[in-house]
Structure 1
Amino acid sequence: MVDSISKSGGSPITKRPGDDTISRLQGGQPAQTVVSGAPSEDTASLSAAAQQLPAELKGSAPIDLPIVTRLQEAIASGDYPIDLDAITESLFQSYMELNS
């Protein structure tokens, strides 16, 4: 769960007297900052498509238990093949995407 901003422990943003940098950039009069102590309420709603999901998808994600069991057994017995070259290549590609 995420705490509201007013409970985050951070200090509120306040405007210093004589600091009208934002208003000068916008070409207007110096702005006034109003900080309210009352937290706002967050709401969420589902789209019509999400409300019409099949019953098997409403509870949890579909899981193929026989495949999961086979993978668990292969990992436990040490028979699960690990392709270090493929893992390295995938990590490097992700790194390059993030830095471009």
Structure 2
Amino acid sequence: MKLAHWVFLLVTLGVAGAGFYLYLAFPFLEVPTPLGSWPLYYLLPGAYALGFLVGGVYALVLWLWGVGERRALLREVRRLQGEVNALKRERIEEIPRIPDREEV
């Protein structure tokens, strides 16, 4: 996990550095959009942030799906434990008692 955090930090710093470089070196580069011309140094970090947000939403949905699956599995385990306990109550096996030992 530490490696993933370091990679995320380095990529974020790289994108911020590239945006700053575009701002200093090529401030005249613009991309036409339906909302007017936007400078390229806005679009690079903006696209990165949008990708980060989409990835965050994906991770949140995946986590919620995992929570639901965990609840379903725990419900199934509890049901099976109840069945096992019911079977144990039906069929009580006698434990042999050794006369020279105390009962625990």
TM-score (norm 1): 0.20
Between Structure 1 and Structure 2, which shows a larger proportion of strand residues? Answer: 2
Bigger Rg over Cα: 2
Between Structure 1 and Structure 2, which shows a larger proportion of helix residues? Answer: 2
TM-score (norm 2): 0.20
